[in-house]
């Protein structure tokens, strides 16, 4: 039995390595002048996300093993600050995708989910049940700006302005570099949890028009507690990108992010809490019927009627 996504390890970042499959498992071969070639085996069955940075290559056999074990593979830029592509492992059921799609396609339900997201971020009772999306965005902007200013005063770094400019990446200050690197790791973990549940990363409720819209929605729930304080703590770091990845991974052990992501998505898409656990004997493929709803697949219905 493979571990549930809630019990998986968080993420692994690799660069300048060759990922391949051998008779033992999936391994990363890392070559350096000092140590020669080293082989590191990856715990694919218990790993939720692998970020492949510059200088990496992966074989088809290794990629198929990762997909079969439900491990999301992201191709990212230098320092993990840009995501170029992602694999989509097969999911066992479309139950949560159907819930997500129904709520996304209905404007009233979509606004309900958006309000619930903001309430999870800023606390119960902080969001009016009648607030429009424009009011929610304004409320969010003011709260996030105040959070930046508070952390800037605590770390005595003067005025801070969030700036993400991939074209002038090296010219940015350490806080922005660390924040972008940590956020990309967070996006990878959230993407892995969303795919493992069978949901679509593209159907967002606050964000829209991007294949990662739902990833950004869910990741925003945790930035104020995870990535933003971490980035400000690295304001004088010599290598803020690498230190952000290491510190972020260490902090996740206490925060237990993956179980929290799974629970939060389920609560957002089904606030009644009637989802429970999946039936291991459930049909993997059913047929849709406009009257009966769902009928069993894998049967010959030619003798009916």
What distance in Å separates the CA atoms of residue 196 and residue 70, rounded to the nearest whole number? 7
Q: How confident is the model over 276-301, as pLDDT tens digits? A: 544 444 445 678 778 877 787 767 77
Average of pLDDT values for 4-27? Answer: 79
pLDDT at 107: 94
What distance in Å separates the CA atoms of residue 29 and residue 58, rounded to the nearest whole number? 10
| Inter-residue contact 235 to 247 (CB < 8 Å) | no
CA-wise closest residue to 118 among 273, 264, 272: 264
What distance in Å separates the CA atoms of residue 271 and residue 116, rounded to the nearest whole number? 9
Q: How confident is the model over 114-135, as pLDDT tens digits? A: 999 999 998 888 888 888 889 9
What distance in Å separates the CA atoms of residue 209 and residue 218, rounded to the nearest whole number? 16
Average of pLDDT values for 27-50? Answer: 84
Average of pLDDT values for 45-74? Answer: 85
pLDDT at 254: 63
pLDDT at 32: 79
Say whether pLDDT at 244 is over 70. Answer: yes
Q: Please state whether the predicted TM-score (pTM) of the whole model is above 0.75.
A: no
What distance in Å separates the CA atoms of residue 151 and residue 165, rounded to the nearest whole number? 22
| Inter-residue contact 89 to 72 (CB < 8 Å) | yes
Can you tell me whether residue 59 is helix, strand or coil? coil
Q: How confident is the model over 170-190, as pLDDT tens digits? A: 777 899 999 988 998 898 888
pLDDT at 227: 94
Please tell me the least confidently modeled range out of 46-55, 106-115, 227-236, 239-248.
Answer: 46-55
Considering 51-60, 90-99, 256-265, the range whose residues carry the highest mean pLDDT is 51-60
Average of pLDDT values for 49-55? Answer: 84
In sequence order, the 6+-apart residues with CB closer than 8 A to the CB of 150 are: none
Average of pLDDT values for 123-148? Answer: 89
Percentage of the chain beyond pLDDT 90 is 34
pLDDT at 305: 56
* Structural domains in the chain, sorted by start: 5-27+37-86 (3.100.10.20), 95-269 (1.20.120.920)
Q: Measure Cα distances from 187 to 54, 57, 81, 288 in Å.
A: 18, 21, 10, 33
What distance in Å separates the CA atoms of residue 144 and residue 201, rounded to the nearest whole number? 24
Mean pLDDT of the chain: 82
Q: How confident is the model over 60-109, as pLDDT tens digits? A: 999 988 888 878 788 877 655 566 676 766 555 678 899 999 999 999 99
- Give the CA count within 13 Å in the CB-facing half-sphere of 190: 24
pLDDT at 280: 41
| Inter-residue contact 204 to 111 (CB < 8 Å) | no
**DSSP at 254:** H
């Amino acid at each position: 039995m493979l571990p549930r996504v809630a019990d998986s390890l968080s993420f692994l970042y690799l660069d300048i390595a060759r990922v391949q499959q051998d008779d033992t498992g999936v391994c990363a071969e890392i070559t350096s002048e000092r140590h020669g070639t080293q082989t590191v085996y990856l715990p694919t069955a218990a790993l939720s996300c692998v970020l492949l940075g510059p200088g990496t290559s992966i074989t088809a056999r290794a990629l198929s093993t990762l997909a079969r074990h439900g491990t999301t593979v992201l191709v990212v830029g230098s320092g993990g600050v840009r995501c170029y592509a992602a694999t989509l492992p097969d999911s066992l059921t479309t139950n949560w995708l159907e819930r997500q799609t129904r709520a996304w396609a209905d404007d009233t339900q979509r606004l309900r989910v958006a309000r619930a997201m903001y309430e999870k971020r800023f606390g119960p009772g902080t969001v009016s049940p009648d607030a429009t999306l424009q009011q929610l965005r304004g409320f969010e902007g003011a709260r996030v700006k105040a959070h930046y200013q508070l952390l800037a005063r605590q770390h005595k770094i003067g005025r801070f302005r969030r700036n993400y400019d991939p074209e002038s990446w090296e010219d940015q200050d350490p806080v922005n570099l660390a924040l972008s690197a940590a956020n990309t790791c967070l996006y990878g973990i959230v993407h892995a949890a969303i795919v493992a549940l069978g949901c679509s990363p593209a159907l967002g409720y606050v964000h829209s028009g991007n294949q990662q819209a739902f990833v950004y929605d869910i990741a925003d729930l945790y930035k104020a507690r995870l990535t933003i304080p971490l980035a400000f703590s690295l304001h004088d770091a010599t290598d803020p990108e690498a230190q952000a990845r290491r510190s972020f991974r260490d902090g996740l052990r206490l925060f237990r992010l993956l179980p929290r992501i799974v629970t939060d998505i389920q609560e957002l898409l089904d606030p009644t809490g009637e989802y429970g656990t999946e039936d291991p004997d459930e049909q993997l493929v059913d047929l849709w019927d406009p009257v009966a709803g769902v009928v069993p697949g894998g049967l010959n219905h030619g003798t009916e009627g």
